[in-house]
Amino acid sequence: MDETWTLTVRAFTILTTDNPSFSVLLFYSRLGSMPGMASLDWDTIAILVALGAFPVSLALTRFFMYWNSAHGIVGIDVHKLARPKIPEMCGAAVPVTLILFAVIYCLMAGENWIPFTAYSLVVGLTAVVGAVDDRLKLRGIFKPLLTLFCGLPLLILGLEFPGQVYDPTLRVPLFGGYHLHIIYPLTILIVISVTSNTVNMLDPLNGSMSGGISIVSGGLLIGLLLTGGSSSSIFLYASLLFSLLGFFYYNRFPSRAFSGNVGQLSIGASLGALAILGKTEIASIVAMFPNIQNSFFFLSRIRRFTEHRELKARPTRLLEDGRLASSEEPAAPLTLVRTLVAGRPAKEEEIVSDIWGLFLASTTLAVITLFLMGVML
Amino acid sequence: MNERVVAYQLGIFVTQWALMILGFGILTRIVAPLRLVALNLPFGSYFDASVKALVALALSAIWLFVWDRQVRFYFYRRRT
């Protein structure tokens, strides 16, 4: 483990500081005149730059693991018999990486800074809300309320610079599209709140959120590449994918780092903001079907916004052999995990595989949706 | 992997996906072109948009209701 860590740090240090050719590569790629690079289009360059998010996120997660452990910021893994203490809030590595790479790409590619600023502000603000919730343990209602305001940068910059942040025409697969010049801006606030909170609600098991959202962002990235999305959207999806993979390395089963609300909310908000910036609204809804099901059934049973820690009846129970079983209590919420163990207890890693399988299926449908955007009945 | 549960879930997702595209189709082809009030009236465009948003909301509620029935039928019919 330590060897891997040392190698990663060395590789990153060499790439960024000891090797001036990296900065030269960036410079030439901007000019598009480097020998051998001239044939690369901007989509390829965007993905190559976004690849850097992986080691940065990996290094930052490792840093937060060390720092948060040392400062007593730990949570208990309740789905293990030994109930180990795991460093919390390590998901902060993802929003930091996303913002850093948005700035790098914007400077490098000479892109329009307005959508990148809106994206970075949305991710940053939701990360702050998550961090405050992690430290102060806010009541359940505050998270959806506060994240509602986190979409304001998209709305305000979109109104101030029309056509540069969002396009109020909703493209519908098979049926064309329609213009929503009044409703679309208003839904931006709701979209950011819903995506951030629904991602926040589906992270009960090791690696379920980071792995699941990696599948979503990877699938939508492939969809955009195949259907001709803009380079900036491709870059932002790729940087989300690679920064998530960096965090996933430590978050996968058995988890050595927990995301915390800071990571979950900002990752969800990033997906929501990308749906708007990348014009993948309907495909993103499809890709997030597992999240939607989980949140809808949780809310429909509990009938209020609440935190998992405040629930009287847990959706699952830990058996003596370490497997998870569906709760026997009628008042327990019908979460996705509870549905997956209905009638048959399973090990945590098996349930996580099932969740990833569902994300893979929903993301495949999302990619088909992107293809259908170009088809008219 | 719990094949039975995952297969049921996939069936639910595909059904909901088809219904969602159909719902957006209804909004695109039927609801959006409707002119409920003259747009040159004061707040006419806002009233028009509000009514159409309510229709979309009602369709979303029906969509979630179908989802709810499916999950309860496949997974919780003996329990709830």
Domain of B49? 3-19+37-75
The pLDDT value recorded for residue A298 is 82
pLDDT at A29: 47
Band of pLDDT at residue A227, cut at 50, 70 and 90:
very high
Q: Do A175 and B67 touch (CB under 8 A)?
A: no
Residue B68 lies in a domain: yes
Q: How far is B38 from chain A (nearest CA, A)?
A: 16
Pairing status of strand A316-318 against strand A324-326: antiparallel
Angle at A292 between CA A311 and CA B57, to 5 degrees: 110
Is residue B30 less than 8 Å (CB to CB) from chain A?
no
Residue B14 within any structural domain of the chain: yes
Interaxial angle between packed helices A20-31 and A93-109, expressed in degrees from 0 to 180 and rounded to the nearest 10? 50
Share of chain A above pLDDT 90, in %: 68
Question: Which residues in chain B have Cβ-Cβ distances shorter than 8 Å to A340?
Answer: 2, 5-6, 9
Report in angstroms the alpha-carbon separations of A49 from A100, A101, A222, A234: 12, 8, 16, 11
- CA dist., res. A139 & res. B17, Å (int): 34
Whether residue B27 lies within 8 A of chain A, CB to CB, comes out as: yes
Residue contact A285–B9, C-beta within 8 A: no
ipTM: 0.92
Q: What is the pLDDT of residue B43?
A: 81
Contacts of A330 in chain B (CB under 8 A): 79-80
CB contact under 8 A, A358 and B64: no
Which residue of B25, B29, B71 is in closest CB contact with A339? B71
B51 in a structural domain: yes
> What's chain A's average pLDDT?
87
Domain total for chain B?
1
User: Which residues of chain A have a CB within 8 Å of the CB of B18?
Assistant: none
- Residues of B in Cβ contact (< 8 Å) with A332: none
